C-alpha cells in the first residue's frame, strides 16, 4: 500500500487550520474539537468492527452457497485476519514515515476495495483475496486509530477518547449484526449484500479524513513545529500548547542519538506488557463468539439461522453497552482496575459456560452466560488493551513498537479463529471454552502482577518512567 509523499495541491495536505468547525475556542482550547477529531479517527474502528463481524451472519449463507467443509469455512472466516497481521506489521513503518493521517486514508481506500470485492466473487479463492485486502486495512486502522487519538488527546481524557475508538469497533460489530439480520431474508445471496454494505462507511471515512490535522507529535518529529503548535493550540489553548510542545520537543531531543532499537533494555518491559496483553485479549476466546456465534447457536443450541443472527444482535448490543460504560469510567478508576474486573468476570462466566455446555444446557442459560462473558470483556479487556498499547511507548518508537504489539494481537486472533472448529472437534465445545476460562484466570494474574497504571499522565511522563 505505497503512499506518495505530499505534493503541492494534494488532497491530503495538512492544512494550517482544519476546516472542521469546532465549538468556540478559548484559552483552554476546544474540547469539542478534540472529540470531533477523535470521532473521525474512530471511523476506522467502526470499519474494523464491521468488517470482522459481518462474517458471522454471512458465513451461514456463504457456507451453503459455496458448499464449504469445516476447513474451508475456517479459511473463509479467518482470511481477513491473515491480512490484518500483514497490515499491522506494515503500519508502524508506514506511519513513522508518512504520518498517521495519510496512512489512515490509504486504509479507508482498502476498506472500500475489499467491501466491493468480497461481494462479487465466483470462487472461495476470489473471496479470500478480497478479504485479505480488507485485513490489510484492519491491521493498519487497528494500530493507527487509537495511536492517533492518544497523540492528539489531553492526558485528562486520553483513556476516554481511546476508548471511543473501541466504542466505534463494537458499534461496527453491532451494525454488522443488525445489517445481517435484516438482509438474511434475501436467501443465499444475502452474504453478498452484507459485504457490499461496508462500502458506504468506507467512503464516509475517506471523506472525513480530508478535514482532520496530522498528529502534532509526528509533525514535531519531522521538524514541522509551526504546524504542530497550531494544532496543539486548537486542542489545548495557547499556554498549554506551548508547554506541551516544549515537553514533546524535550523528549524528542533526549531520544536523538539514543538507541531506537525495539530490543533495547528500556523497551523490554513495556513491549513485553503490550505484547502479552494483546495476545491474552484474543486467546481468552472473544472472537469465537463474534465470528462463530451463528454456528454455535445453530449447531449447539438448535436455533434457526435467523434466530442465531438475532442472538448475535443481542450480543452486539451488550458489547456496545459495556463499552459505553468503560468510556465513562476508564479515566476515573483507571486502566488496571478495569482489566482486573474484566478478566476475573470472564473467567467466572466461561467457567459456568463450560459446565452448562457439558450438561447440554441450551436456550436462556447458554445465551445468558455468553452475554455475561461478552459484557465483562467489553468493560475492560476490549478497550483497556488498546489504551495501554497506545500509551506506554516512547514517541520515537510508538509506531513500530505499537505495530509489533498489534501484529501479536492479530496473530493470536488468527490462530484462535482458524483453529476453533478443529479445537471443538478435538476437545468438544465445553472443553474449548474451559481452556478459554483457564486463560482468563492467567490474564487476571498477569494484569495484577505486571501492568502499571497510566491514568492521568502525559505520554512524556510515562516515557520517562521506562527510561
CA separation for the pair 176, 57 (Å, rounded): 8
Closest CA to 295 of 59, 121, 53: 59
Alpha helices (H) along 153-264: 158-183, 190-196, 199-209, 216-221, 225-236, 238-255
The reported pLDDT for the residue numbered 397 is: 78
Distance (Å, whole) CA 234 – CA 27: 10
Residue 162 and residue 41 in contact, taking contact as beta carbons nearer than 8 Å: no
Q: What is the reported pLDDT for 263? A: 66
Domains with residue ranges and CATH for the chain: 31-212+264-466 (1.20.1250.20)
DSSP 374-385: HHHIIIIIHHHH
Please give the Cα distance from 314 to 49 (Å, whole number): 16
- Per residue of the chain (467 residues), give pLDDT as tens: 333 344 333 445 444 444 443 444 445 567 788 889 999 999 999 998 899 888 878 888 898 889 988 888 888 888 898 899 899 899 988 988 899 999 999 999 999 999 999 999 999 999 999 999 999 999 999 889 988 998 888 878 888 888 888 889 889 988 888 888 888 888 889 899 999 999 999 999 999 999 899 999 889 888 888 998 888 888 888 888 888 888 888 877 776 656 566 667 778 888 999 999 999 999 998 988 877 777 777 766 656 666 776 777 788 889 889 999 998 898 888 899 999 999 999 999 999 999 988 887 666 778 889 999 999 999 999 899 988 988 888 877 788 888 889 899 988 988 888 888 888 889 988 999 999 999 999 999 999 999 988 888 887 788 777 76
Compute the chain's Rg from CA coordinates.
22
Please give the Cα distance from 198 to 113 (Å, whole number): 10
pLDDT of residue 52: 84
Model pLDDT, residue 306? 66
Q: pTM for the full model?
A: 0.75
CA dihedral (145, 146, 151, 154) positive or negative: positive
Distance, CA of 173 to CA of 322 (rounded, Å): 13
Amino acid at each position: 500500500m505505497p503512499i506518495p509523499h505530499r505534493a503541492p495541491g494534494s488532497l491530503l495536505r495538512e492544512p494550517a487550520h482544519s476546516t472542521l468547525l469546532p465549538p468556540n475556542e478559548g484559552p483552554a482550547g476546544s474540547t469539542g474539537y478534540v472529540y470531533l477529531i477523535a470521532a473521525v479517527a474512530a471511523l476506522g474502528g467502526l470499519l474494523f468492527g464491521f468488517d470482522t463481524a459481518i462474517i458471522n451472519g454471512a458465513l451461514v449463507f456463504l457456507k451453503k452457497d459455496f458448499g464449504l467443509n469445516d476447513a474451508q469455512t475456517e479459511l473463509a472466516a479467518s482470511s481477513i485476519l491473515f491480512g490484518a497481521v500483514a497490515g499491522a506489521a506494515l503500519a508502524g513503518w508506514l506511519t513513522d514515515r508518512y504520518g498517521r493521517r495519510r496512512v489512515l486514508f490509504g486504509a479507508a481506500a482498502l476498506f472500500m476495495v475489499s467491501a466491493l470485492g468480497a461481494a462479487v466473487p465466483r470462487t472461495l479463492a476470489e473471496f479470500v483475496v478480497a478479504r485479505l485486502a480488507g485485513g490489510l486495512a484492519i491491521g493498519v486502522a487497528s494500530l493507527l486509530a487509537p495511536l492517533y487519538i492518544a497523540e492528539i488527546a489531553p492526558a485528562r481524557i486520553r483513556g476516554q477518547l481511546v476508548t471511543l475508538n473501541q466504542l466505534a469497533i463494537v458499534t461496527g460489530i453491532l451494525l454488522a449484526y443488525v445489517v445481517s439480520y435484516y438482509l438474511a431474508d434475501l436467501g443465499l445471496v444475502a452474504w453478498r449484500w452484507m459485504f457490499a454494505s461496508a462500502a458506504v462507511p468506507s467512503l464516509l471515512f475517506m471523506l472525513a479524513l480530508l478535514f482532520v490535522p496530522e498528529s502534532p507529535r509526528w509533525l514535531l518529529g519531522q521538524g514541522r513545529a509551526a504546524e504542530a503548535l497550531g494544532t496543539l493550540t486548537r486542542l489545548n489553548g495557547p499556554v498549554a500548547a506551548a508547554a506541551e510542545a516544549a515537553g514533546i520537543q524535550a523528549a524528542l531531543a533526549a531520544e536523538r542519538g539514543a538507541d531506537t532499537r525495539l530490543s533495547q533494555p528500556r523497551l523490554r518491559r513495556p513491549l513485553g506488557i503490550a505484547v502479552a496483553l494483546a495476545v491474552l485479549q484474543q486467546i481468552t476466546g472473544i472472537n469465537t463468539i463474534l465470528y462463530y456465534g451463528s454456528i454455535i447457536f445453530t449447531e449447539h443450541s438448535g436455533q434457526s439461522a435467523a434466530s442465531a443472527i438475532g442472538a448475535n444482535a443481542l450480543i452486539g448490543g451488550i458489547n456496545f453497552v459495556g463499552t459505553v460504560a468503560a468510556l465513562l469510567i476508564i479515566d476515573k478508576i483507571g486502566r488496571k482496575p478495569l482489566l482486573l474486573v474484566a478478566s476475573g468476570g470472564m473467567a467466572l462466566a466461561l467457567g459456568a459456560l463450560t459446565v452448562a455446555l457439558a450438561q447440554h444446557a441450551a436456550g436462556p442459560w447458554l445465551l445468558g452466560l455468553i452475554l455475561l462473558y461478552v459484557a465483562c470483556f467489553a468493560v475492560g479487556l476490549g478497550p483497556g488493551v488498546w489504551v495501554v498499547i497506545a500509551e506506554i511507548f516512547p514517541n520515537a518508537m510508538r509506531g513500530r513498537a505499537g505495530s509489533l504489539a498489534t501484529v501479536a494481537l492479530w496473530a493470536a486472533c488468527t490462530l484462535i479463529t482458524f483453529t476453533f472448529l478443529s479445537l471443538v472437534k478435538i476437545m468438544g465445545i465445553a472443553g474449548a471454552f474451559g481452556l478459554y476460562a483457564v486463560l482468563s484466570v492467567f490474564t487476571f494474574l498477569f494484569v495484577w502482577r505486571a501492568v502499571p497504571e497510566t491514568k492521568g499522565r502525559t505520554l512524556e511522563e510515562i516515557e520517562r518512567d521506562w527510561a
